[in-house]
Chains A and B, each alone.
Chain A
Amino acid sequence: ETGVTQSPTHLIKTRGQQVTLRCSSQSGHNTVSWYQQALGQGPQFIFQYYREEENGRGNFPPRFSGLQFPNYSSELNVNALELDDSALYLCASSKVGGNTEAFFGQGTRLTVV
């Protein structure tokens, strides 16, 4: 059973650019959620995807968007990057109807300069 994998592990972008982060769900999972973890803080829920549709969203602006693919992998897209977007972005997968916990990847460290 493979775990949740994210790519890339690190990247640096310039303010105003766009970025795409990728996540492969754990085998057998059908739901993916994304979190932003600023330095020294707890993760903040961005949104969740199930059956390729967004079915829950936190307090993040529309420039944060996502996709879920038929194989349950997912992308997080952030447009018009701001300095405050610098953070660790975590992907978590889970299975609707399964256990209640989500399994997290190791994250992508995004630095906006």
Chain B
Amino acid sequence: GNSVTQMEGPVTLSEEAFLTINCTYTATGYPSLFWYVQYPGEGLQLLLKATKADDKGSNKGFEATYRKETTSFHLEKGSVQVSDSAVYFCALSVDSGTYKYIFGTGTRLKVLA
């Protein structure tokens, strides 16, 4: 079946450190891949997406590249800020025409000043 596996958290970094959150997936067909972010007490916000192999999604300094050969979509940021502290979810969608997303369990990021 389809699934998403994320690295477990929490991930604790100092401000301006480099961030990587690993995400791998299993899917039939050709999934679209997403990163969502959830700030405390809020819903999910789309951070970035990629819809085909080798696409790179980017937003607010975050990047992720759709790697079909390694079935991965790792999230990276060169210099994190305290305001990046949140829970990050990797997700996939394989059903075009529906918006059935399969989410990973989330990775909590804590950035210390």
Query: Hey, which bits of chain A sit against chain B, CB under 8 A?
Result: 4, 6, 31, 33, 35, 40-45, 48, 55-56, 58, 90, 92, 94, 96, 100-107
Q: Which residues of B contact A90 (CB under 8 A)?
A: 43-44
Q: CA separation between A107 and B36, bound complex, in Å?
A: 15
Pairwise interchain contact A101-B46, C-beta atoms closer than 8 A? yes
Query: Mask for B26-37, Cβ within 8 A of A = 1, else 0?
Result: 000000101010
Give the total of B residues in contact with A, Cβ under 8 Å: 27
B110 within 8 A of partner (CB): no
Q: Which residues of B contact A43 (CB under 8 A)?
A: 44, 89, 101, 103
Within 8 A of A (CB), among B58-113: 89, 91, 93, 95-106
Q: Which residues of A contact B43 (CB under 8 A)?
A: 4, 6, 90, 104-107
Known A42-B106, A43-B103: A100·B32 in contact at CB below 8 Å? yes
Known A41-B106, A42-B89: A102·B99 in contact at CB below 8 Å? yes
- Give the shortest distance, in Å, between B111 (CB) and chain A (any CB): 20
